[in-house]
Amino acid sequence: MAYHNIIFTLNGEAEAVVVPSHMTLLQMLREEMVMTGTKNGCAAGECGACTVLLNGEPVNSCLVLAVECDGQELVTVEGLAHDSQLDPLQQALVEAGGVQCGFCTPGVLISARALLDRNPHPTEADVRAALVGNLCRCTGYVRIVDGVLAAAERA
Amino acid sequence: METTEKTPDLIGQSVDRLDVHEKVTGAAVFTDDLQFGRKLLHARIKRSPHPHALIKSIDISRALALPGVKAIVTGEDFPEHIGLYLKDKHIFARERVRFVGEPVAGVAAITEELAEQAVELIDVEYQLLEPVFDPEFGASPEAPLIHPDLENYEVPNFIFPQAGTNIANHFKIRKGDTERTWERCAAIVERKFHIPHIQHVPIEPHVAIAKVEQTGKVTLWAASQSPFAQRNLIAKTLGISQSDMRVIAPLVGGGFGCKAGVTMEAMPVAIATKVPGYPVKLRLTREEEFYTNFVRQGLVIKIKVGCDADGKLLAMENTMYWDGGASTEYGVNITRAGGYSSTGPYDIPNVKTDSLCVYTNHPIGGAYRGFGMSELHTAVDQCMDELAETIGMDKVAFHKLNCVRGGDILVTGMTLHPVGLEECIDKVAKAIDWGQKPPASAPNKRRGKGIALAWKAPAMPPNAGSSAWIELNEDGTATLGIGGQEIGQGTFTAVAQIAAATLGVPYESIRIAGPLDTQYSPYEWQTVASRLTWSMGNAVRAAASDTRRQILETVADAWDEDVANLDIVNGVVISYKSEEEQPLKEMVIYGLPNEDFTEWTGGPIVGRGMFMPTYVTGLDAETGQGDRAVVHYTVGAQAFDIEIDIETGKIEILKGVAAFDVGKAINPELVKAQIEGGFVQGLSSAVFEEIQLKEGVMQNPSFVDYRIATSADTPREIESIIVEVPQDDGPWGARGVGEHPMIPAVAALANAIYDAVGVRMEGPPFSAEKIYLAMLDAGIVS
The string of pLDDT tens digits covering residues B182-213 is 999 999 999 999 999 999 999 999 999 999 99
Of A47, A94, A136, the CB nearest to B20: A94
The answer to whether B30 faces chain A, any CB pair under 8 Å, is yes
Residue B570: φ, ψ to 5° = 55, 35
On the question of pLDDT at B671 being above 60, the answer is: yes
Whether chain A has a CB inside 8 Å of the CB on B741: the answer is no
Whether B677 contacts chain A with CB within 8 A: yes
One domain for residues A58 and A105: no
Stretch B695-702: mean pLDDT: 98
- Report CB contact under 8 Å: B711, A143: no
Contact call for residues B486 and B670 (beta carbons, < 8 A): no
B27 touches chain A (CB under 8 A): yes
B24 to chain A: which residues are within 8 Å by CB? 77, 86, 90, 93-94, 99, 102, 105, 109
- Nearest CB to B673; choose among A35, A42, A100: A100
Enter the ipTM.
Answer: 0.99
**Is the CATH number 3.30.365.10 carried by domain B298-460+618-777?**
yes
Residues whose CB is less than 8 angstroms from the CB of residue B117 and which lie 6 or more positions away in sequence, other chains included: B66
Q: What is the pLDDT of residue B596?
A: 84
Tell me the nearest-neighbour CA distance from B361 into chain A, angstroms.
26
Closest-CA residue in chain A for B668?
Answer: A97
Which residues of B, range 174-233, sit inside 8 Å of A by Cβ?
Answer: 200-205
At B723, phi and psi to the nearest 5? -115, 140
Q: What is the pLDDT of residue B594?
A: 80
Per the structure, the complete domain to which residue A102 belongs is given by 88-154
CB B253 within 8 A of CB A101: yes
- For residue B754, give the H/E element and its range: helix B745-757
pTM: 0.97
Q: What's the rounded mean pLDDT across residues B106-131?
A: 98
Closest chain A residue to B717 measured between Cα atoms?
A142
Q: How far is the alpha carbon of B157 from chain A, nearest alpha carbon, in Å?
A: 35
pLDDT band at B2 (very low <50, low <70, confident <90, very high): very low
Whether A115 and A137 map to the same domain: the answer is yes
Question: Measuring CA to CA, how many Å separate B220 from each of B115, B244, B263, B280, B349?
Answer: 20, 11, 13, 9, 50
CA distance B515 to B260: 17
Tell me the chain B residues in contact with residue A75 when contact means C-beta distances shorter than 8 Å. none
Each residue's pLDDT tens digit, B451-508: 999 999 999 999 999 999 999 999 999 999 999 999 999 999 999 999 999 999 999 9
> Do A22 and A50 lie in a common domain?
yes
Convert the pLDDT of each residue in B707-732 to its tens digit. 999 999 999 899 999 999 999 999 99
**To the nearest whole angstrom, how far is the Cα of A146 from the nearest Cα of chain B?**
11
From chain B, pick out residues whose CB is under 8 angstroms from the CB of A104: 203
Residue B172 one-letter amino acid: K
Q: How far is B695 from chain A (nearest CA, A)?
A: 26
Q: Are the C-beta atoms of B153 and B75 separated by less than 8 Å?
A: no
Contact B356, B170 (CB under 8 A): yes
For chain B, positions 699-718, list CB contacts with chain A under 8 A.
Answer: 702-704, 708-712, 714, 716, 718
Q: Which residue of A has its CA nearest to B35?
A: A34
Instruction: Tell me which chain B residues have a C-beta less than 8 angstroms from the C-beta of A49.
Output: 203
The answer to whether A142 faces chain B, any CB pair under 8 Å, is yes
Phi, psi of A91 (to 5 degrees): -60, -45
Interface with chain B: mutation pick from A1, A61, A101, A111, highest number of B CBs within 10 Å: A101
Residues A64 and A95 in one domain: no
Whole-number pLDDT of residue B595: 79
**A36 vs B679: CB contact, 8 Å cut-off?**
no
Domain boundary pick from A79, A111, A130:
A79
Residues of B in contact with A78 (CB under 8 A): 25-27
| A interface test, pick of B711, B713, B739 with most A CB neighbours within 10 Å | B711
Question: B671 — contact with chain A (CB < 8 Å)?
Answer: no
Give the model confidence (pLDDT) of B403-428 as tens digits.
Answer: 999 999 999 999 999 999 999 999 99
The tens digit of pLDDT for each residue in B207-236 reads: 999 999 999 999 999 999 999 999 999 999
Please indicate, yes or no, whether residues A10 and A64 belong to a single structural domain of this protein. yes
Nearest by CB: B681 against A46, A137, A142: A137
Residues A54 and A36 in one domain: yes
Domain boundary among A14, A49, A79: A79
In this structure, the answer to whether residues A11 and A72 fall within a common structural domain is yes
Contact status of B253 with chain A (Cβ, < 8 Å): yes
Query: Smallest CA–CA separation between B690 and chain A, in Å?
Result: 16
Total domains in chain A come to 2
Provide mean pLDDT across the span A110-115. Answer: 98
With pLDDT > 70 as the criterion, what percentage of chain B qualifies?
99
Q: Give the pLDDT confidence of B240-252 residue by residue, as tens digits.
A: 999 999 999 999 9
Mean pLDDT across B436-449: 96
Does the annotation count B739 as an active-site position?
yes
CATH number at residue A150: 1.10.150.120
A100 contacts B203? CB cut-off 8 A: no
Closest CA to B747 of B373, B388, B401, B459: B373
Is A126 near chain B, with CB under 8 Å? no
Residue A55 shares a structural domain with residue A26: yes
> B298-460+618-777: same fold as B34-129+205-254+259-284?
no
Instruction: Give how far Cα A25 sits from Cα of A50, A103, B33, B629, Å.
Output: 9, 18, 16, 53
Instruction: Assess contact for B326 and B360: CB atoms under 8 A.
Output: yes
Arithmetic mean of pLDDT, B130-147 = 98
A90 touches chain B (CB under 8 A): yes
Percent of chain A's residues with pLDDT above 70: 100
Cα gap A33→A37, rounded to integer Å: 11
Confidence class for position B6, pLDDT limits 50, 70, 90: confident
Active-site entry in B125, B389, B739, B769: B739
Least Cα separation, residue B575 to chain A (angstroms): 37
Could you give the count of Cα atoms lying within 13 Å of B127 in the half-sphere of its Cβ?
A: 6
Answer yes or no: are the C-beta atoms of B373 and B335 closer than 8 Å.
no
* CATH number of the domain within which A48 lies: 3.10.20.30
Tell me, which fold does domain B20-29+464-611 have in CATH?
Aldehyde Oxidoreductase; domain 4 (3.30.365)
How close B743 comes to chain A (CA, Å)?
15
Helices of type H across B455-584: 491-503, 537-559
Q: What is the mean pLDDT of residues B324-330?
A: 98
Phi-psi region of B344 (alpha: psi -120 to 50; beta: other; left: phi over 0): left
Residues 428-487 of B with CB under 8 A from A: 487
CA–CA dist B92, B97 (Å, integer):
9
Render pLDDT for A52-75 as a digit per residue (tens, 0 to 9): 999 999 999 999 999 999 999 999
Nearest to B680 among A44, A127, A141 (CB): A141
Chain B interface disruption, residue of A61, A93, A103, most B CBs within 10 A = A103
Whether the CB of A88 is below 8 Å from some CB of chain B: the reply is no
Same domain, A67 and A112: no
Fold of B34-129+205-254+259-284: Aldehyde Oxidoreductase; domain 3 (3.90.1170)
pLDDT band, very low/low/confident/very high, at B1 (cuts 50, 70, 90): very low
B327 neighbors B333 (Cβ within 8 angstroms): no
φ/ψ (deg, to 5) at A9? -105, 125
CA distances from B289 to B258, B426, B575 (A): 10, 41, 58
What are B678-689's pLDDT values in tens digits? 999 999 999 999
Q: At residue B586, does pLDDT exceed 90?
A: no
Task: For chain A, positions 24-63, list CB contacts with chain B under 8 A.
Answer: 30, 34-44, 46-47, 49
User: Distance between CA atoms of B25 and A3, rounded to whole angstroms?
Assistant: 32
Q: Does A122 touch chain B (CB under 8 A)?
A: no
A49 contacts B24? CB cut-off 8 A: no
Last residue of a domain, one of A59, A79, A99: A79
